[in-house]
Amino acid sequence: MKVLSNLSALPVMRNPLVTLGTYDGVHVGHRMILTQLIQKAAEASKDSMLITFDPHPRQALGLGEVSLLSTLVEKIELLEQTGLDYLIVLPFTKEFSNQSATEFINRVLIEQLNISEIILGYDHKFGHNREGDVHLLANILGKTGRLVTEIPAQDVDEIIVSSTKIRTALVHGDLETANRLLGYQYQIQGKVVAGNQLGRTIGFPTANIEPTTSSKLIPGDGVYAVEFRVNERTYLGMMNIGIRPTVSNSTHRVIEVHVLDFNADIYGESVRITVCKRIRGEQVFSGLEALTEQLKKDEVDSRRFFSSH
């Protein structure tokens, strides 16, 4: 997959079949669209292409913070697994947002990319004031002999898949639903930073994790069974997300991972956490002794989960 960000220096392409959108999380609904796009392109000996945007349009327009399911790096990694030929990442600015949908269709899709077909998910909107839709595309592209295909909403267990529903599930700690709608296990990338080292005193040393970006969505407070990848090796562990009410009066959420059967100095290292199962919600304990006993139970539950999977 070739990743491009400059439309003024495009390689020679074979009348690409295109889709567009933020594709946050690259979930099962996104993959359904991409599968059809890639298959149709291959059958027609043409290129497959996704046009996406960075930063997220809501962030660029100052419409509030967006909790992202995937950073740009993660999105690229996920898309590389699909077999897509081209990923175009357009810088999303206020100036770009003022471009009408008609201008975008004529200038980008027709003049610069010379697409042969566009495939969109159900009820997709784009352009200034979200005025662009499948009907406008069909009206403009149809006059030039180009095709427009709309794919109906993708259902998983009778739930229409959307990035918003996945975010909601994660915020509420419903990891099972989130991972099912994503089609893979949710991940967090970050760096190991210094903590208060309290875990060492009770036999559960932890790596404190600072996410790569503050925009990354962090699942709801609680304890999770996780895979922990550092220095190209993967370990098993249990992660706590929350404010640590038993030992702290702070309202600042922290991410701590106790890596099972591991003892090494990894301060400053980049890590990837795969969130596999929620063990329990965050609780307040009467003291360190009660907390330690619960952590022992959490470890047993985490090991039991991994041994059965």
Domain ranges of the chain: 2-160, 185-308
Q: How far apart are CA 201 and CA 174, in angstroms?
A: 31
Question: Given pLDDT bands bounded at 50, 70 and 90, which one contains residue 199?
Answer: low
Mean pLDDT, range 46-61, rounded to an integer: 88
Question: What is the per-residue pLDDT for 66?
Answer: 81
Residue 61 has pLDDT above 80, yes or no: no
Q: What amino acid occupies position 213?
A: T
pTM: 0.91
The residues facing 226 across adjacent strands are 237, 275
Q: For domain 2-160, which CATH number applies: 2.102.10.10, 3.40.50.620, 2.60.40.10, 3.10.450.50? A: 3.40.50.620
Q: What three-state secondary structure class fits 139?
A: helix
Q: What three-state secondary structure class fits 92?
A: coil
CATH code for the structural domain at 185-308: 2.40.30.30
Tokens representing 183 are 């089609």
Closest CA to 106 of 80, 141, 130, 139: 141
Q: What three-state secondary structure class fits 8?
A: helix
Q: How far apart are CA 233 and CA 279, in angstroms?
A: 24
Question: What is the per-residue pLDDT for 151?
Answer: 87
pLDDT digits (tens, 9 = 90+) for 99-112: 899 999 999 999 99
Question: Given pLDDT bands bounded at 50, 70 and 90, which one contains residue 98?
Answer: confident
